A and B are shown apart, each in its own frame.
Chain A
Amino acid sequence: MLNKISKYWWCQIIGWSVNIGISIFFVTTFGKADHLYIKSLILTCITGLAITHGMRLCIHHFRLLDKPLRKQVLHFVLLTFIFSIIFGMASEGIDALLQYNPERAEKYTAAQRLFISSFNALWLMLMWNFIYFIYHHVEKNRNRELDTFRLEALVKSLELKTIKSHINPHFIFNALNSIRALVDENPERARTAITELSNILRSSMRAEKQETVPLQQEINIVKDYLALEHMRFEERLQIDIEIDPDTLQQPIPPMMLQTLVENAIKHGISKQIRGGTIRITSFFKNDHHELTVQNSGRLNGSLDSNTEGFGIKSTQDRLNLLYNGKAHFEIQDINGNMVESRVIMPVASIL
């Protein structure tokens, strides 16, 4: 703000000084420069500065710069006329005060003199307004660009947030399709499947608001999720879950395990014709809580899609944010035909 005011005042001072300079130049070159003229000139320009400052106050008071373009132009023209007349009056007043150019006073009536002065002032005011106008338009455009950048950054951060609670739509529609098929074939299974799906959707909506959840809660969701995937893949999905019960109360980021399991299935199991195994383990190791998801498959070539990379990155980001660098996440091939995602977190003491 301070910078902006200085800029404006600099422009004013320089602008009016230049006006004085040019006028003196022309007068000395083409006519006579008596010091009365110069006095009049300087006083007039100082007054001009004051008047244009007043005009600026008007512009801001009536928020002319925020109006639609056509209205702006109209208002500016009006303003120019009004202030030209004011300037004209001031100019005449100064001349009268200094008794400069009395011959003019005799040649023309007051009204005529006012008209002439205002007319001369008009061009000055027009130019002043024009410059002011242009300057603010350029500023506005620059701000608009900045706003666009800020908006894009916001969208990106929201995307990150939604990754947190992002349930793969592919999964949802496939699950619904399978449930529909089961309605006749195995109505009981269809009913439980609907409950499982509803649990998953609810927890994914809640995940937005929670910073951590106990492992127990996350395991329940993952179990529901795997039950639904098992419904689709049948014998092509083998599930093995080994959780140390002591770790069940440990706080972990919501939907993190869910995301890892989703990826394991999306990039590992579903890509293999005979399917495979997914194995989830959780235990304490060396003062840390270790959570792993292993699946049949291989890494090379599964990290090609954008969302996959994003899922991994968001997991790393969330762990960094939550544990301040004290948590690790790694994903690697093991045993030649399995992929392991491992999350290592500091142990939280449970009261």
Chain B
Amino acid sequence: MHKAIIIDDERLARNELKKLLSDFPEIEVVGEAANAAEGIEKIEQLMPDLIFLDIQMPGKTGFDMLTELDRAPHVIFTTAYDEFALKAFEVNALDYLMKPVEPKRLVDALHKLQLAEEKEMAASIAGINRGMLSENDQVFVKDGERCWFVKLSEVRLFESVGNYAKVFFGSNKPLILKSLNALEERLDEKVFFRANRKHIVNLRMIEKVEPYFNGGLLLDLRAGEKIEVSRRQAVKFKEMMSL
């Protein structure tokens, strides 16, 4: 059973989609929104696992709205016309549908959703704390023209840049509009460790640990980054990692 929200500035478009979705009993439309601000509100309130999102909306676009979410649910984009260079999409956009939506395309998109969910279930850890972001959660990241859905499990490192943070994954390190402190609050500390004032490290991405100056530690990450652990945090680190 999927909880879904439809976000589109046109009432008729929302109705059309609701009508189509009524043929799929496994999808329950729990809410609607007419713009980005309403969308964020409804998402945080109703916690849907699927959203149908119109890209072109007044005020903020669909993409911009996604960057403001802590956790990006599964997204199926809707658009009337392909001018939005969905080639800007690197990976992992669940799907996009062109309006008027052809029922068969909707079936395909929902099927993809089903497969993605099954993959996640197989990889997920039991007993996920609802408030915390788990490794299987994805965030939506935008860097200029490029956008990604990134699974937290793929993120090696967060590095603070002023009030924002750089997200290191693959060969990319785009900027997200969240501070390191804000991230630390939402991330599961058993996986994401605050190594020092400027860095949060994904513990699963550590290849080597060496002692460092002043009672600290030096962490070698999978892609070669070397992160210092402050002395204070090093104590916590050793406690966490000890048997």
A residues engaging B (CB < 8 A)? 169-170, 173-174, 176-178, 180-182, 184-185, 231-234, 270-273, 275
What are 23 A-to-B residue pairs whose CB atoms are below 8 Å? A169-B83, A170-B80, A170-B81, A173-B80, A173-B98, A174-B10, A174-B80, A176-B100, A177-B12, A177-B99, A178-B13, A178-B16, A180-B100, A181-B12, A181-B16, A182-B12, A184-B19, A231-B12, A232-B13, A234-B11, A270-B56, A270-B58, A271-B58
Asked, given contacts A173-B100, A180-B100, whether A273 binds B10 with beta carbons under 8 Å apart, the answer is no
CB-nearest residue of chain B to A305: B83
The distance in angstroms between the C-alpha atoms of A213 and B194, with both chains bound, is 70
Interface residues of B in 142-181 (CB under 8 A from A): none
The distance in angstroms between the C-alpha atoms of A272 and B81, with both chains bound, is 20
Interface residues of B in 1-39 (CB under 8 A from A): 10-13, 15-16, 19, 35, 37
Asked, given contacts A184-B19, A273-B58, whether A178 binds B98 with beta carbons under 8 Å apart, the answer is no
Interface of A is mostly: helix
Q: Which of A170, A176, A232 contacts B83 (CB 8 A)?
A: A170
Q: Are A232 and B58 in contact (CB under 8 A)?
A: no
The distance in angstroms between the C-alpha atoms of A184 and B19, with both chains bound, is 10
Asked, given contacts A180-B100, A181-B19, A273-B59, whether A173 binds B81 with beta carbons under 8 Å apart, the answer is yes
Q: Are B81 and A169 in contact (CB under 8 A)?
A: yes
Question: What would 6 more interface pairs be, CB under 8 Å, given A169-B80, A185-B15, A275-B58?
Answer: A173-B98, A174-B13, A177-B13, A180-B16, A234-B11, A271-B59
Given the complex, which residues of A lie within 8 Å of B99, measured CB to CB? Answer: 173-174, 176-177
Q: Are A273 and B35 in contact (CB under 8 A)?
A: yes
B residues engaging A (CB < 8 A)? 10-13, 15-16, 19, 35, 37, 56, 58-59, 80-81, 83, 98-101
Interface centre among B35, B58, B81, B99 (most CB of A within 10 A): B58
Asked, given contacts A170-B80, A177-B100, whether A233 binds B10 with beta carbons under 8 Å apart, the answer is yes
The distance in angstroms between the C-alpha atoms of A342 and B35, with both chains bound, is 32
Closest CB-CB distance, A265 to chain B, in whole Å? 11
The distance in angstroms between the C-alpha atoms of A272 and B12, with both chains bound, is 18
CB-nearest residue of chain A to B14: A181
The distance in angstroms between the C-alpha atoms of A180 and B59, with both chains bound, is 26
Closest CB-CB distance, B80 to chain A, in whole Å? 4
Closest CB-CB distance, A268 to chain B, in whole Å? 10
The distance in angstroms between the C-alpha atoms of A177 and B80, with both chains bound, is 8
The distance in angstroms between the C-alpha atoms of A234 and B10, with both chains bound, is 8
The distance in angstroms between the C-alpha atoms of A247 and B12, with both chains bound, is 37
Asked, given contacts A184-B19, A271-B58, A273-B59, whether A178 binds B81 with beta carbons under 8 Å apart, the answer is no
Q: Are B81 and A232 in contact (CB under 8 A)?
A: no
Closest CB-CB distance, B36 to chain A, in whole Å? 9
Q: Which 6 A-B pairs have the closest CB atoms?
A: A173-B80, A181-B12, A181-B16, A177-B99, A177-B100, A178-B12
The distance in angstroms between the C-alpha atoms of A56 and B21, with both chains bound, is 76
Given the complex, which residues of A lie within 8 Å of B98, measured CB to CB? Answer: 173
